[in-house]
Amino acid sequence: MTKTVFVTGGNRGIGFEIVRGFAKAGYKVMMGCRDEDEGNEVKEDIVGGDVHVIEMSLSNEQGIIDALTRATAVYGGIDILVNNAGVLCRDGVEDVSMGDVSSALQVHVQAPLTLIQQVLPGMKERGFGRIINMSSGWGAFAEGMEGPVAYAISKAALNALTLNVANELEEESNITVNSVCPGWVHTRMGGTDAPKSPEEGADTVVWLGTLEDETPNGKFVRERKEIDW
């Protein structure tokens, strides 16, 4: 049966290429985005895919739950969840506002957890699930936690969420949770000096989501290889 994918922040950057990659591979894709009109406009660039725009802001829990409930009622349960959306505040320790810290934690940690809570029962029922959290080398202890504070600590917390959920699901057959670092990618967030294209940034996520056997679980993955937390 055709598998269904939900991608947050699917309207641009790496998220858009993740949507395109799964659509090309024959999956049904729900493209989560804040602005439905923008989603419908960019969707036109995906030729022949089974893609549906789902209006969803990640700013509050009930809004996420309501949007997901409406979407799954129409398009069915989610087999692959990609928590891709991200916000980058570049302020340092002395300047960062608690509003920016909250918003990084909401988008990178709380919204992914809310979505995981919503999709897990269906995944358990169907005996299949892939959860992919888009992290960053800036959230890696092994790489020195060098990013700006709100971004770095929230991506580190997202990695902690990945490992924690993977541990809890250890007994569950065929549901995996992994973090991905896309590398430095040319997007609105990554800027124009970045060496990787959005399609290259999306590659590991689509690869992980479409793997049938021997899927990693509870790992941090970059360029299809495990890296240290």
Ligand X SMILES: NC(=O)c1ccc[n+]([C@@H]2O[C@H](COP(=O)([O-])OP(=O)(O)OC[C@H]3O[C@@H](n4cnc5c(N)ncnc54)[C@H](OP(=O)(O)O)[C@@H]3O)[C@@H](O)[C@H]2O)c1
Cα gap 227→95, rounded to integer Å = 31
From 23-31, 78-86, 93-101, 210-218, span contacting ligand X (CB under 6 A)? 78-86
Q: Is 182 in the site for ligand X (CB under 6 A)?
A: yes
* Shortest Cβ 126–ligand X spacing (Å): 26
Among 84, 154, 176, 204, binds ligand X (CB under 6 A): 84
Q: Is 21 in the site for ligand X (CB under 6 A)?
A: no
Q: Is 209 in the site for ligand X (CB under 6 A)?
A: no
C-alpha dihedral sign at 87, 16, 130, 51: positive
Among 3, 9, 114, 152, binds ligand X (CB under 6 A): 9
Which sequence positions are flagged as catalytic?
A: 151
Among 29, 51, 78, 85, binds ligand X (CB under 6 A): 85
From 40-48, 67-75, 79-87, 216-224, span contacting ligand X (CB under 6 A)? 79-87
Among 11, 110, 154, 176, binds ligand X (CB under 6 A): 11
Q: Is 136 in the site for ligand X (CB under 6 A)?
A: yes
Interior CA angle at 91 toward 88 and 92, to 5°?
125
Cα 62 to chain centroid distance, Å, stands at 19
Near ligand X in 86-115, by CB under 6 A: 86-87, 107
State the SS3 of 74-121: HHCCCCEEEECCCCCCCCCCCCCCHHHHHHHHHHHHHHHHHHHHHHHH
Closest listed residue to residue 140, CA positions, set 128, 127, 158, 126: 158
* Closer to ligand X by Cβ: residue 91 or 124: 91
Q: Which helix (H) or strand (E) holds 124?
A: helix 111-126
Structure token digits, residue 209: 């989501």
Closest listed residue to residue 46, CA positions, set 27, 72, 68, 70: 27
Which residues in this chain contact ligand X in the complex, by CB under 6 A?
8-9, 11-15, 34-35, 57-59, 84-87, 107, 134, 136, 182, 184-185, 187-190, 194
